[in-house]
Every structure is written in C-alpha cells, then in structure tokens.
Structure 1
Amino acid sequence: MNQPRVRTPVAVDGRLGPASRHPGMADPAYLARRRALGELARDHRVGDPAPTVTYSDAEHRMWGLVHRTLVRVQRRHACRAIADVIEAVDIPDDHVPQHAEVNSRLQRLTGFRFTLTGGLVDSRRLYGAMADGYFHGVQYLRHPAVPFYTPEPDALHDLVGHGTQLAAPRFAELYRVIGRAVHRVETAEAVSLIDRLFWFTVEYGVVRENGDLKAYGAALLSSYGEIECFRDAEIRPLDLRAMANTPYQINGYQPILYRAESLDHLTDTLGEFFDEMDDDTPVRLCHWPGTRD
C-alpha cells in the first residue's frame, strides 16, 4: 500500500469544491509562474542554497495579509511550545522571505534549514533529509484570488506552518527521530506507515493543554479556516495503532484528529515508537492488504 506522499493541502471549507475548480487551475499566467519556480528545483541537491526569487509587489502583499492572519490565530490556538517561538523565528510579514533568510533563524534555534523542492516530495527523500536537519520547501505562492485557500502546499504552508514548528526544539527533534526511522526501514509498507503517522501528528496533531485543546500540526498552523474550527472534528485519543489504520482525507477539513494529553505524552510516545520501528512494525500494527499473512 505504498503511495507517493501527498503534501498537505490547506483548505478553507468543503464549499470550495475540488482542486480542479480552483481559480489557479484556470489562470495561465499563474500556472506559468508556478512552473517556473518549480523548475528552479530541478536537480537540486539537499542542502544546496536555494536560488533567489524576485517576487512581485502583489505576491509580497498577499504574503503579508495571510502571514499576519496566521500569526494572529496561531497565538490563540497553538500550543505553548509553538506560540513561544513565533517571536524567536521572526518570519517577516512585509515581504516573502527567501529560504536563506528563514534558514539563518531556524539554524540558530534548532539547527534546521529548508532545502528546495519544486512540489511533491518522495517520502524517502523527504523524511531522510529530516534526519540531517533539512526540510523540503517550495518557493511558489498560492493564487491571489483566494488568499486563504490553496489546493496544494505553498510557501506559506511550508515556511509559516512547518517553519514555526521547526523553530521549537522538541518538534525539531521529533522530525529528526522520524528521519532516522526511515533510514532503517526498507519496505514500502514501513514508509506508508510513517506517512500516516506523520499526517496525524506532525501535520494535523492536537494536544490537551491547561484543559483546552491546542494545535501543533503544521497544516493546522497554516490554515486560517481550519485552526479556527478544528475542535469541531472528531477528537480521538493518541493511538498509534488507530492512526495506522485510519485513512486520511487529502482535501478539505480533517474529520478525525488525534489528541495527545501533553507534549511529553506526544514526544515520549512517538520517540519510543520511531526509535524502535523496523520493517516488521507494519505487520504487527496495520490491517492493510499485504501487511498480514
């Protein structure tokens, strides 16, 4: 059941319909810009500097609008470990930052850096780079017609979602633990299991804090609409076996989220699991076709 990992869309609500009807899909100028920035990543090696992009005034304005809104809702709804690093990572809101600009701050805080990708990333490449302190990020932005919705991850999702998360030392270490796990496994089933657990924790995880639910997942941190209403989802206790056997929904708000009881609960549970994970783990944990005799 190994599928290419689909990086998380940031959805506003189901009324927007499928990605094929998004305004960007019918805008030749936008699609050409998207392709041109994606092409900059061709043959890019992990760790090489990203080329400098000249963004338009319109792109800078949209970045500022969305970034300021996301920071505001992060302060209200994100867990303390995330909220505490917003100032430290200091992602600018007056212009679209270059990767190098964000990297200089992240590297000082946790040793992480962004490395360039032009779009979707093969799971092994994505997680393997995390073990060495790199996370793949794009340089293109969403279509300006719908600034708070994108059918695919863009620079706002990567830099403001994952970038803020990676500024927090405990989350940065969790990325590294996952990266080390993918280097140990060889089977497609093991990588698919990492995909699912990454989705329900790093991308869409929530945690109980002072009696309230708070968000820590990067997809929630970068979605103005969903972070405001994630508590309306079906919230289940953190359960790796259940996560492993729950299909995830690519488009729209997630109907099911998994709750850790504390940050210690999250990092202890995931750290122990990924430190011990091997190619037999999916056979013991999953009910997918092909994972059991």
Structure 2
Amino acid sequence: MATETHALASPPAGANADWTVDQDWARFTPEEHRVWDTLFARQAKLLPGRASDAYLRGLDVLKLSKPGIPDYRELNARLMDLTGWQVVAVPGLVPDDVFFDHMANRHFVAGNFIRRADQLDYLEEPDVFHDVFGHVPMLADPVFADYLAAYGRGGQRALGLDALKYLGRLYWYTVEFGLIAEPEGLRIYGAGIVSSFSESRFALDDPSPNRLGFDIARVMRTEYRIDDFQQNYFVIPSFDALLKATVETDFAPLYAALKAQNDIPVAEIVEGDDILTRGTQDYAQGKAA
C-alpha cells in the first residue's frame, strides 16, 4: 500500500491529476518481458499446493500465463466482468489519500515498471510483477474484491482519525502477508508472499515464524518488518470471515482503544493469542542457515 512519506508531493510530469499514467504497453522491451516470464515461470511452478484456491483460480481465469507483461486493456476487460475492478498504471508510490481513493473506487494502482534481471529476488518499491502477479489474481475473487474496496473506504476514514498506522498493519498482515486455513492445510494469499520465491516457502515451511489466528485488534497492534521475512503470520479462516470482520467493526472506538495500548513487537506472543504454530524464532535470532 502507500507509505506515510513519499518522494513526490504532486503528480510527476506526464501523470494525470489522480497520479495515473498510460501503461503504454508497447514501450516494454523484450528484456523486460523476459524478466516477467522468468519470474512468472518460477512462481507458477512453486505455488500449486501453496497458494490459496482463490489465488490460483484468479491466475487462471485472468489468463496471466500469457507470455510477457500483461496488457491492461486485455486484463481489465476480464477483471471488470468478474468483480468490477480495474488495474491502473502509476509511476511509483502514490500518496495515501490517492491510494485509498483509487481502492474505494475499485481501481488497483500498479507500478509501471519492472525490476531488472539482477533484482529477481528483492525490490524495495513494488513493481508490475509484485502488483499484478501478486495482487490482481485475488481481485478476481468477489469476496476479496469487496474486502479491498471496503479497505479503501476505511482508509479514507482512517486519514481523518489519525489512525493510518493501525490500518496499514491490517493491510500488511492480510493483503500483503496473509495466510488462510483451507481444508488441505495452510495456504498463502498475500501478494508479498505469492510474488516472492523465497517467502512462498518460508511462510509455510520454516519453523521460525509464529502462525496465529486472525484477530483484527491484535493485528492492528502488531509491528512488522519491511526488509525481511515476517516472524508473525496471521491466519484467516475464510475470506468471508475477513470481510465480515472488516465491515462489522466500528473502527473509530477501536482506534481510540489501540492508541491507549502499547504496540506489540515483531515476533512476540501475547496472552490471548490463538497460536497455531509457535515459532522457534531461529531466523529472527540470526540462527537460520
């Protein structure tokens, strides 16, 4: 999602007032398309049996396996028919109010660039692979699509309540790094995991992190790392339950209560946690191989 500080305070040259730009698909080079194909092939091989059913269905129905960076004109035609969402290109990170306004109106912003071939495993700023491969398949699921639109509306309200920190944590631990309990076992659906070759394995297989039952107040109190694997993953029972928890919560009194409590440090277990897996914390303590 957007961050609290930005390199730019107004749309850069060539961008529209809402920060969108023309994707200009024809400008992507053969090398850039090869980077997408390399990343796609690696993740597509890894994710069956790891990614949620909803994510894999979205990947299929949106036809993202077609070689090369997706052309939004084709992608959006399919996505609009499914859930009313559209992908819009932006030059980079956008201000929070712009991000939430787009999301509330079912527009998902995607960085209009792709990482270099020597950056396959880590990039600080989200690129088109993270944004489209990671996020967009979940937008084909009607329930999750409704959750993101509700989140956008909640973000607009959070800005006026000085509560962006708490809502940002909800995004981080669901949209970016969420796990779901499916009949076959735990599965990943967060974009930060499904788009990462290493974290796709770490989140499910490594003994280091805690895997905790989802609780909206607990999530909003929990700090996170932006530069390393997570040490707490929160597991939702279903996307219906996630949507219900979001739309049935009165966030104003929740924010007030959270401001009176201490934040919970990364990797910490607290009283009342629904512990599905208590992690060894070997990775957090620098003991991982």
Q: Normalising by structure 2, report the TM-score.
A: 0.79
Hey, what's the Cα distance between the residues in 2 that align with 1:248 and 1:89? Answer: 31
Hey, what's the Cα distance between the residues in 2 that align with 1:39 and 1:236? Answer: 41
Q: CA RMSD in A?
A: 2.5
Q: Which residue of 1 aligns with 2:4?
A: 4
Hey, what's the Cα distance between the residues in 2 that align with 1:53 and 1:44? Answer: 23
Q: Equivalent of 2:186, from 192, 196, 213?
A: 213
Hey, what's the Cα distance between the residues in 2 that align with 1:209 and 1:182? Answer: 29
Hey, what's the Cα distance between the residues in 2 that align with 1:41 and 1:105? Answer: 27
Q: 2:179 matched to 1:202?
A: no
Cα offset for 1:264? 2.9
**Pairing 1:6-155 to 2, within 5 Å after superposition:** 42-45=15-18, 49-155=22-128
Q: 2:239 matched to 1:257?
A: no
> Kindly tell me: are residues 128 and 281 of structure 1, through their superposed partners in 2, closer, same or farther at Cα, counting changes over 3 Å?
farther
Cα offset for 1:209? 0.9
Hey, what's the Cα distance between the residues in 1 that align with 2:80 and 2:192? Answer: 22
Identity score, percent:
25
Residue 268 of structure 1 aligns to a residue whose secondary structure is: helix
Gaps of 5+ in 1: 7-37
Cα offset for 1:193? 1.8
Aligned residues: 254
Cα offset for 1:5? 6.8
Q: Which residue of 1 aligns with 2:251?
A: 277
Cα offset for 1:123? 2.0
Gaps of 5+ in 2: 263-289
Cα offset for 1:260? 1.2
Stretch moving more, 214-223 or 119-128: 119-128
1:41/1:118 contact within 8 Å kept: no
> Kindly tell me: are residues 81 and 69 of structure 1, through their superposed partners in 2, closer, same or farther at Cα, counting changes over 3 Å?
same
Hey, what's the Cα distance between the residues in 1 that align with 2:200 and 2:14? Answer: 30
2:146/2:243 contact within 8 Å kept: no
Hey, what's the Cα distance between the residues in 1 that align with 2:221 and 2:200? Answer: 24
* AA partner of residue 214 (structure 1): R
